[in-house]
Chain A
Amino acid sequence: MSTLSLAGVAKNYGSTWALEDVNLDIESGEFVVLLGASGSGKSTLLNIIAGLEVPARGKVILGGRDASDLSPAQRKVAMVFQSCALYPSLSVRRNLSFSLEMKRMRKRDIRDRVEGIARQLQIESLLDRNPYELSGGEKQRVAIGRALVREPSVFLLDEPLSSLDTVLRASLRTELKRLHEQSPGTFVYVTHDALEAMTLATRIAVLDQGRILQFDRPDVIYSRPATSFIGSLIGSPNMNLVAARYSVHDHHVRLHLATRELVLSPFPPGKARCGDDRVIAGFRPEHVQFTSETRPDTFCGRVLSIESTGPDQYSRIMLCDQPITARVPHGLRIERNTLVSFRIDAASISLFSPVNGRRLN
């Protein structure tokens, strides 16, 4: 059973639509990341799930019940904001216990639960401090603790790590993943950081201009992006997107790319397009294999530059008149301004429509 469903949710601010017809079914215990650039509507969606904003159309269904008439407090959701939003006038302990006090829980139970959560998050020593005495990372831990204390069925996290530095972000990311594994709750996490999405999510929903472009497992989103936009959004360095032409022969797709021809598996039914043979071919830097032999499907190009990211080296290669990025395997030395031969793994090529960017194969 899905714990959280969105059915045809739309939201407008005046004449601009922040969300248009969003449908999502999130299973219990999932870690769903809403990934999108700023202005894509991801935070609005989170606020609608929380009940902080009212959708113009559509429904939020929580635990099988229509939540439209439930107040934020009645929805059994907890939220973590980017700015932490700790109550400035309350101590850390009171920040953690505030929601329980509102529920009129017994004092002893409150204390036990707050101290349990503080132990779990290793913030016991901070309990009697004030928010302004905490560092950025400590504040965010308290904010996470404040969500955990409520024992919600859905955790809503609005870019909780984006104001932290890189090291802290990585360690809190690991911690969030651990918390998700230990907790029975469902996580919905908003971010614009594709790496966070890939490492945390059980499923990623990619949003653009108020629509969900793709909702799938991270590995599927990585290897079979639904649009060229998603391909370029996820993965570092980006997916190579090059203009090509194609023809269909004997149920196979022949991709004409820079005077070479690659044979691809056939299009799914209904995807072949009439009258236009232009296409955008997308492939990842690691799908470029350097080779010394010359075969009909080997390409040749001039190396523009080489950059190292530490564990990996990437080279920019001119393929006809379009630069592409290729991963250079360990032990292979290539020089700037030389010609290299390489193959592109045909099975992993994604084809996109040049008109609307949608995936064709």
Chain B
Amino acid sequence: MKSGSMLRTVTLGIGCLLFVLPFFVMLCTSLKPAGELAANHMLSLPRAPDLHAWRQAWSYACIGTACKGLSIWFANTLSIAIPSLVLSLSLGAVTGYALLTARTTTGTVLVGLLTFGLFIPPQVTLYPTIILLRHMGLFATTTGLVFVHVMWGLPFVTLLFLRFFQSLPPEIFRMARIDGASFPVVFARLLLPASLPAVGTAAILQFTFIWNDYLLGLTFGSSSKLPIMVGLYALATPQYGHNDYDVSMAAAMITSAPTLMLYLCSWKLLARGINGVTAKG
């Protein structure tokens, strides 16, 4: 082995270790029975692994006043994330296409504003958004939270679609005009099927953002239907000075599972999409 590739392997190995170690500790801790946890070192493998903590976290753990585990929170988050995802993707794709065709000053200004919107942290507009939602009668409702997620996702999703559409050969759109295809037909039948990589990328990043959100959920969500990150925080916060580390770790694993699974499943899908569909026609 050459020293160059040796160095590379070692560096990559250390990098991997740094990322995997916390995950490893989480997994081991969640599988250790309660007694073993205190008796052994943090990094040791569980001697008699069991799923007690996972069951506890999923179905029985007490969060706030209810002792029904994370399962309800999981469902809550899905009911927030799915409409937010669908709405922001469809709105963003249509807006991206509209901005592509509108080569006017207004269009340019709008693209500029959207780009600007990318750089505003949500914390800055938190209070004005509360007032806005209160006026709309949507404050502390799931609909309101979905609205906020769509609003926050829109600049990013729109620009992502716009940039992708701009990478397609422009003659396609001129050809479609000669063929007499209308705006919706071009969008639905020519553009969207060619944009699977963009849809995939947008969906993954948006879903991750919505799933991992804590601040917006806590601020705008309905108190009876808060997202999972709020639940996890409540579960993992020591109550009366006591903390079940195994249950907390299992809960953290459950909470991060959907985004982890999404990445694992999608990178191959994305690679296929990029190789196949975007090859210029």
Contact = CB atoms under 8 A, between A and B. Distances in A.
Interface stretch (A76-84, A206-214, A348-356): A76-84
A76 to B, nearest CB: 10
A98 B190 CA distance: 10
A84 B279 CA distance: 13
A103 B194 contact: no
B174 A83 contact: no
Interface in B258-281: 276-281
Q: Kindly state the interface size class of chain B when it binds its partner.
A: 20 to 34
A68 interface: no
Interface string B146-161: 0000000000000000
A71 interface: yes
A96 to B, nearest CB: 11
B177 A52 contact: yes
Given A89-B193, A98-B181, A99-B180, A79 B174 contact: yes
A151 B146 CA distance: 50
Contacts of B277: 88-89, 132
B265 to A, nearest CB: 23
B230 interface: no
Contacts of B276: 130, 132
A52 B279 CA distance: 25
B176 to A, nearest CB: 8
Interface in B165-188: 168-169, 171-172, 174-181, 185
Among A72, A77, A87, A99, max chain B CB count under 10 A is at: A87
B276 to A, nearest CB: 7
Interface string A82-124: 0111111110000000110011000000000000000000000
A81 B178 contact: no
Among A51, A78, A99, A103, max chain B CB count under 10 A is at: A99
Interface residues of A, number: 28
A31 B51 CA distance: 79
Main secondary structure of the interface of B (DSSP, over half): helix
A102 B180 contact: yes
B279 A98 contact: no
A84 B180 contact: no
Given A87-B190, A88-B168, A102-B185, A73 B178 contact: yes
Interface string A277-314: 00000000000000000000000000000000000000
B197 to A, nearest CB: 12
Contacts of B278: 88
Contacts of A221: none
Interface string A118-143: 00000000000011100000010000
A85 B190 contact: no
Given A85-B172, A88-B168, A72 B279 contact: no
Contact of B180 (A71, A81, A83, A139): A71
A69 to B, nearest CB: 15
Contacts of B181: 98, 102
Interface string A305-343: 000000000000000000000000000000000000000
A132 B281 contact: yes
Contacts of A90: 189-190, 193
Contacts of B193: 89-90
B175 A88 contact: no
A190 interface: no
Given A73-B179, A89-B189, A90-B189, 7 more contacts: A77-B178, A83-B169, A87-B194, A88-B277, A88-B279, A102-B181, A132-B280
24 contacts: A47-B174, A51-B178, A52-B174, A71-B177, A72-B177, A73-B177, A74-B180, A81-B171, A83-B280, A84-B171, A85-B171, A85-B281, A86-B281, A87-B175, A87-B176, A87-B190, A88-B168, A88-B280, A89-B189, A98-B179, A99-B178, A99-B179, A99-B180, A130-B276
Q: Which 4 A-B pairs have the closest CB atoms?
A: A73-B180, A85-B171, A89-B193, A132-B279
